[in-house]
């Protein structure tokens, strides 16, 4: 199974990390993380993934622990990746503000 990862830079301190595990053209597993550069270290603000065999979004707290999860039962892995990237591209400013001010 080919694995691939890459970054999408949104600005100098915010990026999206994408990890894909594919079987030919099908996405089997993925992780899409919204990351913030804070004190020289990239931290995970939110992430979509397929861990536990379901697509979900984890919202992280400043302590690095998961605050809550949202499950997306209607998505398959391929559409989940696209939804995650689109969500983070369009809403990252809100998510970063919430993370920093929560």
What pLDDT, in 10s, does the model give residues 42-87? 999 999 999 877 899 999 999 989 999 999 989 888 899 999 999 9
Q: Measuring CA to CA, which residue among 46, 49, 4, 8 is closest to residue 25?
A: 4
Domain boundaries, the chain: 3-101
Predicted pLDDT at 72: 92
Is pLDDT of 1 > 60? no
3-54 pLDDT tens trace: 899 999 999 999 999 999 888 778 888 999 999 999 999 999 999 999 877 8
Tokens representing 44 are: 């995970």
pTM score above 0.75:
yes
């Amino acid at each position: 199974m080919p694995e691939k990862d890459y970054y999408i830079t949104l600005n100098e301190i915010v990026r999206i990390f994408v990890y894909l595990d594919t079987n030919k053209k099908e996405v089997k597993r993925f992780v899409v993380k919204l990351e913030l550069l804070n004190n020289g270290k990239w931290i995970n603000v939110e992430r979509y993934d397929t861990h536990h065999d379901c697509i979900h979004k984890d919202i992280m707290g400043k302590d690095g622990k998961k605050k809550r999860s949202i499950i997306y039962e209607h998505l398959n892995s391929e559409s989940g990746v696209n939804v995650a990237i689109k969500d983070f591209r369009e809403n990252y400013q809100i998510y970063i503000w919430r993370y920093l001010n929560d």
